[in-house]
Every structure is written in structure tokens, then in C-alpha cells.
Amino acid sequence: MKTAMRDRDENNSTEAALELNAVSKTFTSGKRIIQALDGISARISLGCITGLIGSDGAGKTTLMRLAAGLLLTDSGQMKVLGRDVATEALAIQAMLGYMPQRFGLYEDLSVQENLDLYADLQGLPLAERPSRYAELMHMTGLATFTRRLAGQLSGGMKQKLGLACTLVRSPQLLLLDEPTVGVDPVSRRELWAIIERQVESTQMSVLLSTAYLDEAERCAEVLLLHEGKLLSQGPPAEFSNRLKGRTYSLSATGLTKRELQRRLSRAPGVLDALIQGEHVRLVMTNHEPPDVKHMLLGIEGVELSAVPPRFEDSFVEMLGINTPKYPVSDSHTSVKPITGGAAIEVQDLTRCFGKFVAVDSVSFNVGRGEVFGLLGANGAGKTTTFRMLCGLLPVSSGRASVAGVDLHQAAATARARIGYMSQRFSLYGQFSVIQNLRFFGSAYGLNGVHRQSRIDWALQEFGLASEVDSNSDALSLGYRQRLSMACALLHEPEILFLDEPTSGVDPLARREFWRRINTLAEQGVTVLVTTHFMEEAEYCDRLAIMAAGRILVLGSPAEIKTKAQTVSQPTPTLEDAFIRLIQPSTELQA
Amino acid sequence: MTRGGSTMRLRALVRKEFLQILRDPSSIAIAFVMPIVLLLLFGYGVSLDAKNVPVALVIDQPSADTASFSSAFYATDYFKPITLRNMQHAEIALLAGEVDGIVHLRADFGRDLRHAGGAPVQVIVNGVNANTGRLVLGYVNGVWSTWLQHQAEMRGGTLDVPVQVEQRVWFNSELRSRNFLVPGLIAIIMTLIGALLTALVVAREWERGTFEALMVTPVSITELMLGKMIPYFVLGTGSMLLSVVMALYLFDVPLRGSFWVLWLGSSLFLLVALGMGMLISTVTKNQFLAAQVAIIVTFLPAFLLSGFIFEIASMPTVVQIITHIIPARYFVALLQTLFLAGDVWSVILPNALALLLMAIVFFVLVWRKSRKRLE
């Protein structure tokens, strides 16, 4: 399939969909120069899906925009379908379809009007339209919504409509910039199915960028980008094969999963130890099997089994973490002794915005020292629930108490006992690291010697000492995340609210982050976290999966997986479980 | 790209824009509600004529003469007098802002009147608002001389004044400030609609990422520009018509020039305003910033420096020079001439030419600034 070419035009026949030759691109923001792409050379094959994988700031979007002729390279050459982007941008644009990260749907136009607009702009002949429209609408499942305004579609439907508009005149090269970000797992699978079907039926070439590492495995080839550099290129199987025979799953009845993970991650020869439900997944630095007896001396009920390697394992290996850059110590906070009762109690919590019910009688309890996850797609009601529990948004009806304080009566009292870290890290960009820390310390009522000692603790603990005087918006994403968490922990809160704390950060930063969370939990801090990474849900003690303002299912990761077991799928992943639970009757034909 | 494809693309862009205008109440509000509100506000609320000015008449010793003098104040529309007996009371009223002026007739008014030296009348005017102050002073003089003439006629003679001023007011014979404000206001409204609306809608497309998707279609920059210009030109023409109809039938402003010249002149100005709006949004790419910049660089100068309210000739020379780069200046001149004087080509042609030049300059700038690139 890779060599399949469309040679309608003799002169136009090319061997690569995209060719990059030492391509570099820098941006300046204020005084800072950002090297978005640093001497990238690569070839992207025709007729298949190539994945562009990397964290935020890896250079994915820049590469896409260069290919679409929206940016010019600083140096190096870029050819799309055999033509030079620098000189033939218009001709190239006529051959490609490009879906930017937030696709440019006109929200006040209907589905049909959006399609018509793009059909006109792409010059699709009128005669071909009825059949093409029917095909696209059938494919995307939007056929019954053609008259609905695009702004009133769900996130997943918007992405599908965006894709339909891009595909309205079948392009030779399709550029998709993070098409699955913030989309629920069901829509994600459907998007993939649509793209795969297009490639099969029209031999279209696709370049798709994503931050979800599990999506890499669905691509024919993968370019792995990190901070503007190409780490590696090849079929995904090649990536994981490097680690064949080095990945294991381990469980022990004698230890909590967090304790188990901590011990294992310090053991010699272990590259990566990750909680996965009740198990810990191990990646070894070499082919020698883990010396379990030695690692877990005197622990009962140890079970070890080999598991197949994943794409992420090789990413982690490539980024090189033999030891974490900033070791996470065991002394985070000095939380007061735990008193009885649940940390968070929620009963029939409801929030309406006008007629729209964002959160619909949600009930759950979170025990002290528990890590509780709220999962769901964008718009499922996670953030609204969160804001109510933090006392930032009044409750429409129902009851909620946080740290034993009823939010109806004393939201402010409750707020003093919680720490909050939001998606966008809410830091003051013009302030330096130390100024941010001082400000948040004072905002939480710390002063004098106590404040200074907490700031010293934060600088040391989060490895921020070297960046003390840098403005926080000049920091890298990983550092900003650390600073944001440090600010949330200054006043030693009993409960920590984390709203999509790891979106966009690389797998290493994510691991470091979760190590901290685990340490906190072990010390009795209650953690409530939202995420749309199914992978992260595995780290939680219990989780609630939300959809359309309601809790679909609540339980430990293992319990949720058990609920979704079928004969054909005896060991479903959390994502499989989510999909099955959200549409119990229909079998998915992805 | 074929010519047929180009027409199809342009038609699609224009249709899209109209659908958005129809569904977005804010553009309709800016185009049609704002002119109505502004015209009503300025047409009825702002008047540069002083009418019913409260004045205090202080009469130390009432007599037939003072009664006849003060009745002259009561008889005119310009004043709303109150009669006081005590100068102190009048001063308090002036301080409190209850009256804008004091006319003081001394106790010996009646006697002095018949003497050769004449009777002095003390007039005190609140000069805080210089404009009203001057008007009050002028009106008091007017009332005073009319009364004197009246007195002379009653005595069977004529007032012996060596120079007689025969006043004729041209173009706005009733001296209604509304006649001069309303045409100028139309220029302000057009500036807002042309510049603010386009600046906002183009910046909105940048913000929502819709331009990024459009740019990778075979659409050209010219098509994108025309796709924005045509709908807002139509919308602007609509609000221009609305304003003209309101001016003629609600405010009874005469239109002495021809309708077609008015239409052509307005179209020219609309092009300039649209060009400014496009330029602003192309540079800022952000709705909030675009709105701020549009108000500061188009609306405010048009308001202050176009001669719409404030006479350009009485500004300092430096400011007068600056007014030449304000497009609204030429349009205000055009409108005031067309409404009040007629098709005076010696005024119309240079102003129209200035607008044409400005339109060309803005479009060249916009065209050079917009590329099918993101940087």
C-alpha cells in the first residue's frame, strides 16, 4: 500500500507525499527565540497514514503549517507531492486538505451550509455534490443533523463535520492537526475509522498529528518529534519491538499499588514503573528479567508476567530516563492527622446554565487519601463539577461538602483547605517564579517566616531554584506545570483539585507529576483529578466516568473493566470499557 | 484557477457572510439599531442652540420701566427668567447653577433712562461653559436693543443708530443646529459601521481559526477581501439610507443637493471606512484589540476632528493640519454641503477626490499586508 501511487499525470508522479530536507523554523516571542523545528529531514510515504507524534511544543503544528504553505521555512527545503512549497504554494493548496487544530467551522452556519461553503471553495462540480454529500454524511453519521447549526454540535460531531468539509473534494494529501484532542473515545474511534476508510478507498496520503501515544500504533509510519527535533522515524511496531522481552506486569497482594510502584521504580535495572489498575507495569533497561525476589524482599503474593511492549515504552526510553531529572522526595507536606469522615461528599449535585443542564444530579463520595478521577470528553461536565466543589460556581441544587464544610454555608472556609490547579496553570506570566510563589502564598494567608519556609520548600522540592527569576511565561511547559503545582501546595491543603493537569506535557513530565501525586496521597492528601487520558485513569483508586452531565459508571479501574467484560473481549482496556458502557447495545464496527 | 471557479468561490464567501450577518444579532444591531439610537440622541438630545436659558432678573425698585423691560425677557423663547429683589439671592442662584446669568436693574433705572448718560444695566454671566456664556450675552444684548427700539417707536421717534445691520443667514436660515449636526452624524455612523464592523468580523475569523482553514483552499486574497467588502458595503449602504430617511423625514433636514451625488459620495467614504477596518483587523487579528484600535483611530478622530461638532477653522494650526488625514473630515464637508447648500461642485469635487485617494491608499495597504500566510 505504501508504494501505491496515483499517476494520473506523468509529470506529477512523485515518490513521497512530503519531503523535508533539513527544515528549520524559529519564532520570536518577546525576547525569547523559540526553535520550533530544528533541522528536520524526513520522507512521508504516499497512500498511508503517517503519524506525527509528540508533546506540546514538539513542533507538530509548525510542521503541518509549513506543509500547508501557511508558513515559510527559515532554512531547508520542503516538498509536498513533488512540488516546492516555497514557490508553488497555490498549486499545492489545490491538492491538499488541511484541518487545523480547531477546525474553522462557522458555528452560526448549519452543517449543510458549512459543507456547501467548502464545496464551493474547493470547486466541487454541482453534479457530483449529491452523491458526495450523501457519502460524507453517511460516513460521519451526521445525515440527520444537516440543518443543525455547527455551534450546537457536540465536540466529536464538530470534528467529524470538520473532517467532512476537508474531504469534500477528495484531496491527495490530507493534513490533520490533532483531530482527536478533547474528543470522547467513541468519536475518536469513529474518526479513525473514517480516515482509514478514505485511505483504503482512494489511496489518499495522510499526515496526522497527535499527543495520544496509543494512536501511534494505528499509523503505518510514525515520526516522533520532541522539542523541535526528530527523535526517530519508522513503523510503530519497530518502535515497540526494540523493547520486546523487556516489559512485564507485576502485582503483589502484600503492598498497596503505590507502595509497590515506588519500590519498583527505585529498583536497579528498572526503566519505568507505571500503575495500571491493580498492577504495576515494568519496563526494564535490558533483557534480563526483573529480580523480583530481591526487589520485593519479604513481600507476599507477588505475580509476574510478561506483557507486549507499547509505543510509549520506546518513547520513554528514547527520552532517556534512567533517573528522573528531579528526584521526588517523600516529604511533600505536613498534613494534619486525618480525622474521620469522607473528604468530599456530593449528593444530587446539579448545575444549570439557563436551560442547559451541565451537571445532572451527580452523587459520589471521596475518602481521605484517595485519588479519585473524573473522566469524560470535553463538555461532559467535569470542569463544572470541579468548579462547584472548589466553591467557584454556585450549586443549582443538591448538596456538596468538602473537607467536612458544606459549600452552601461556608464556601470560603472550604476554599482555604483546598489546593486548585487548573488546565491552563493560572500563573501570572509577567511575574517571576519567586513572585508567583510569594503572591500565591500571601493569597492563601501565609506570611513571614512561615511563608518563606514554604517557598524554600517549593523551590527545592520542584527543582525551581535555578529559574527563580525567570518570568513564568518564559518557562517550558514542564516547568510551568511544576510551578503551578507548587503554588497549589504552598498552604498544605488537605484536598487537591487538579483539572486536566497533564494535558500536553510529555510522558516523562507526566510520570514525574504522578509520582508526586502518589506521594501526596500516601500522606493522606485527597486528590480529585480530571483527565481525558484513559491511561491516567489507571492511576486512580476510583473513578467516575461522566457523559452529558451524568455519571455513567463509578468504581475502581478493575471494577469498571469487569463490568465491560464480554466473551469476545475478556480483558478490555479502560477505553474499551468506556465505549461499551456509553453505548451498551451497539457493537462497534471499527 | 478558472474564472468560473472564482465566481463560485466569491459567491460562496458572500453568501456565508450574509448568513452570518442574519444570524448574529450584533452586526444587525451595529448596522441598524445604532444609527437610530445615535440619531435620536444627537438629533433631540444635543442642541447647540441656547433656548429657555434660566436667568435672574434683579430689580432693586420696581417701576413701569422695569416692568416693561423685564416683560421683554418673559416674551422671548430664549430666556426663562425669574425675578428676584435681592442681588445676594441671585448670586447664590448663579453659584448653585440654577441660573446661567443675572440681569441687574438698579434702583435708579427709571430716572437714568431719561438722562443723557443712559441707564447702566449690570449683566453677569456664568462663563464656565464659554459657549452658553457667549450666547447668553448676545441674547441679552438682542433683547435689550429690541426693547430700546420698541421704546423709541412708542415715543414716536426712531432710535438713532448710525449703522444698521441687515442680517441674512444662508443655508440654514433658521440657524437650527440640528440641520448641521445630523449630516455630520451620518459621517460618524458610517465610520463606525464601515471600520468597526469589518474590523470585528475579520478579527473574529482569525480568532476562531476559520481563516486558517480558508487559506488552504484555492481561494485567493482578492476573493477573501471582496468576500468581506461586498456584504458590509451592502450593509453600510442600508444604514446610510436609514440615516438619510431619518434625517429628511424625522428631523426635517433639507436635502438641497441631488440624491445620486449623495449616494456616490457615501459609497466612496464607505470604501475608505471598510478599508480602515480591514487594515486594522489584518494587523491585530484579535477582536478585542481590533475594537479598541478601531475606536481610537477611526471613531474618536472622526468625532473630534472632522468638523462634525467642533469647527476646524477655530482649531490650533497643528491640529488643523492633522485633520487632513481624517477621512471623516472630507465626508462631513461633503454631507453638510449636499444637505444644506446643494450640488456645489467646487466643494464636492476636491473632497470626493481626497476620499478616493484615501480609499486607494487603504486598499493597497490591506492588499500588501494580507498574504496567504500566518506570519
Retrieve residue A253's grid coordinates.
Answer: 497482594
The radius of gyration of chain A's CA atoms, rounded to the nearest angstrom, is 25
Verify that A139 and A83 share a domain, yes or no. yes
Instruction: Assess whether pLDDT exceeds 60 at residue A183.
Output: yes
Q: What is the CATH number of the domain that holds A508?
A: 3.40.50.300
With a pLDDT cut of 90, the percent of chain A lying above it is 23
Report chain A residues whose CB lies below 8 A from the CB of B8. 120, 123
B20/chain A closest Cα distance in angstroms? 6
DSSP state of A474: G
Chain A CB within 8 Å of residue B295 CB:
no
pLDDT band at residue A176 using 50, 70 and 90 as cut-offs = very high
A284/chain B closest Cα distance in angstroms? 44
Q: Which of B12, B19, B373 sits opposite A121 (nearest CB)?
A: B12
B20 with A106: Cβ contact below 8 A: yes
pLDDT of residue A584: 52
More confident residue, A332 or A305: A305
E strands in A235-335: 247-252, 270-276, 279-284, 302-306
Which of B8, B215, B217, B372 has the most A C-beta neighbours within 10 Å, making it the best mutation to test the interface with A?
B217
Indicate whether A326 belongs to any domain.
no
Instruction: Assess whether pLDDT exceeds 70 at residue A11.
Output: no
Q: Which CATH architecture has domain B53-154?
A: 3-Layer(aba) Sandwich (3.40)
B9 with A108: Cβ contact below 8 A: no
Give the chain A residue whose CA is nearest to the CA of B23: A108
A122/chain B closest Cα distance in angstroms? 6
Rounded to whole angstroms, the Cα distance separating B356 from B268 reads 6
pLDDT of residue B114: 75
pLDDT of residue A7: 40
CB within 8 Å of chain A, chain B residues 198-217: 205, 208-217
Rounded to whole angstroms, the Cα distance separating B33 from A265 reads 67
The DSSP bridge partners found for residue A83 are A80
Verify that A175 and A214 share a domain, yes or no. yes
pLDDT of residue B50: 67
In degrees, rounded to 5, the angle at the alpha carbon of residue B227 between the alpha carbons of residues B226 and B230 is 70
Task: Give backbone dihedrals phi and psi of A456, rounded to 5 degrees, phi first.
Answer: -60, -45
Verify that A269 and A417 share a domain, yes or no. no
DSSP state of A432: B
A530/chain B closest Cα distance in angstroms? 26
pLDDT of residue A188: 86
Retrieve residue B86's grid coordinates.
Answer: 435681592
More confident residue, A276 or A30: A276
Indicate whether A579 belongs to any domain.
no
Report chain A residues whose CB lies below 8 A from the CB of B15. 117
Q: A332 near A515, Cβ under 8 Å?
A: no
More confident residue, A119 or A566: A119
pLDDT of residue A329: 57
pLDDT of residue B271: 93
> What is the pTM assigned to this prediction?
0.78
Verify that A536 and A477 share a domain, yes or no. yes
Q: A342 near A368, Cβ under 8 Å?
A: yes
Give the chain B residue whose CA is nearest to the CA of A175: B216
A117 with B211: Cβ contact below 8 A: no
Retrieve residue A532's grid coordinates.
Answer: 481525558
Q: Which of A102, A120, A166 sits opposite B12 (nearest CB)?
A: A120
A114/chain B closest Cα distance in angstroms? 9
A104 with B9: Cβ contact below 8 A: no
pLDDT of residue A49: 94
A104 with B208: Cβ contact below 8 A: yes
DSSP state of A110: B
Q: Which of B9, B372, B374 sits opposite A120 (nearest CB)?
A: B9
A106 with B215: Cβ contact below 8 A: no
B16 with A70: Cβ contact below 8 A: no
A151/chain B closest Cα distance in angstroms? 12
Helix, strand or coil, per DSSP, at residue A452: helix
Report chain A residues whose CB lies below 8 A from the CB of B14. none
B214 with A94: Cβ contact below 8 A: no
Give the chain B residue whose CA is nearest to the CA of A68: B216
Q: What is the pLDDT of residues A85-103, one digit of tens each?
A: 888 888 888 888 999 887 6
Rounded to whole angstroms, the Cα distance separating B294 from B271 reads 15
Verify that A232 and A254 share a domain, yes or no. no
Instruction: Assess whether pLDDT exceeds 50 at residue A323.
Output: no
DSSP state of B174: T
Instruction: Assess whether pLDDT exceeds 50 at residue A6.
Output: no
pLDDT of residue B161: 60
Q: Which of A101, A105, A123 sits opposite B218 (nearest CB)?
A: A123
Indicate whether A576 belongs to any domain.
no
Verify that A70 and A123 share a domain, yes or no. yes
Which of A498, A491, A499, A513 lies closest to A335 in space, CA to CA?
A491
Q: Please say which residue of A197, A213, A239 terminates a domain.
A: A239
Report chain A residues whose CB lies below 8 A from the CB of B20. 106, 108-109
Q: A518 near A362, Cβ under 8 Å?
A: no
With a pLDDT cut of 70, the percent of chain A lying above it is 92
Q: What is the pLDDT of residues A45-64, one digit of tens each?
A: 999 999 998 887 788 989 99
Report chain A residues whose CB lies below 8 A from the CB of B227. none
B372 with A89: Cβ contact below 8 A: yes
- Per-residue confidence in pLDDT tens, chain B, 375 aa: 455 688 899 999 999 999 999 988 888 888 889 889 988 888 787 766 667 888 888 888 888 888 888 888 888 878 888 888 888 888 888 888 888 888 888 888 777 777 767 777 888 888 777 777 777 788 888 888 888 778 777 777 666 665 656 666 666 666 567 788 888 888 888 888 888 888 888 888 888 888 888 888 888 888 988 999 999 999 999 999 999 999 999 888 888 899 999 999 999 999 999 999 999 988 888 889 998 999 898 888 888 888 887 888 888 889 899 889 999 999 999 998 999 888 889 989 999 999 999 999 999 998 888 777 776
pLDDT band at residue A482 using 50, 70 and 90 as cut-offs = confident
The radius of gyration of chain B's CA atoms, rounded to the nearest angstrom, is 28
B216 with A121: Cβ contact below 8 A: no
Q: What is the pLDDT of residues A230-269, one digit of tens each?
A: 988 999 988 888 888 889 988 888 788 888 888 888 888 8
More confident residue, A17 or B180: A17
Give the chain B residue whose CA is nearest to the CA of A167: B217
B219/chain A closest Cα distance in angstroms? 6
Retrieve residue A364's grid coordinates.
Answer: 459520589
Q: What average pLDDT does this structure show over A148-168? A: 88
Verify that A196 and A74 share a domain, yes or no. yes
CB atoms within 10 A of CB A233: 18
Which of B311, B332, B314, B312 lies closest to B322 in space, CA to CA?
B312
Verify that A150 and A188 share a domain, yes or no. yes
A108 with B12: Cβ contact below 8 A: no
Report chain B residues whose CB lies below 8 A from the CB of A102. 208-209
pLDDT of residue B129: 75
- What domain count does chain A have? 3
CB within 8 Å of chain A, chain B residues 1-20: 1-2, 5, 8-9, 11-13, 15-16, 19-20
Would you list the domain boundaries of chain B? 3-46+176-369, 53-154
Q: Which of A70, A113, A117 sits opposite B374 (nearest CB)?
A: A70
Q: Which of A71, A107, A166 sits opposite B375 (nearest CB)?
A: A71
Q: Which of B11, B19, B373 sits opposite A113 (nearest CB)?
A: B19
Give the chain B residue whose CA is nearest to the CA of A91: B218
Which of A106, A148, A152, A175 has the most B C-beta neighbours within 10 Å, making it the best mutation to test the interface with B?
A106
Q: What average pLDDT does this structure show over A523-550? A: 86
What is the ipTM, given to two decimal places? 0.75
A533/chain B closest Cα distance in angstroms? 25
- Cell 507485576, located at residue: A250
Rounded to whole angstroms, the Cα distance separating A53 from A72 reads 22
B16 with A109: Cβ contact below 8 A: yes
A69 with B216: Cβ contact below 8 A: yes
Instruction: Assess whether pLDDT exceeds 60 at residue A333.
Output: no
- Residue-number span of the structural domain to which A128 is assigned: 10-239
A108 with B23: Cβ contact below 8 A: yes
B217 with A122: Cβ contact below 8 A: yes
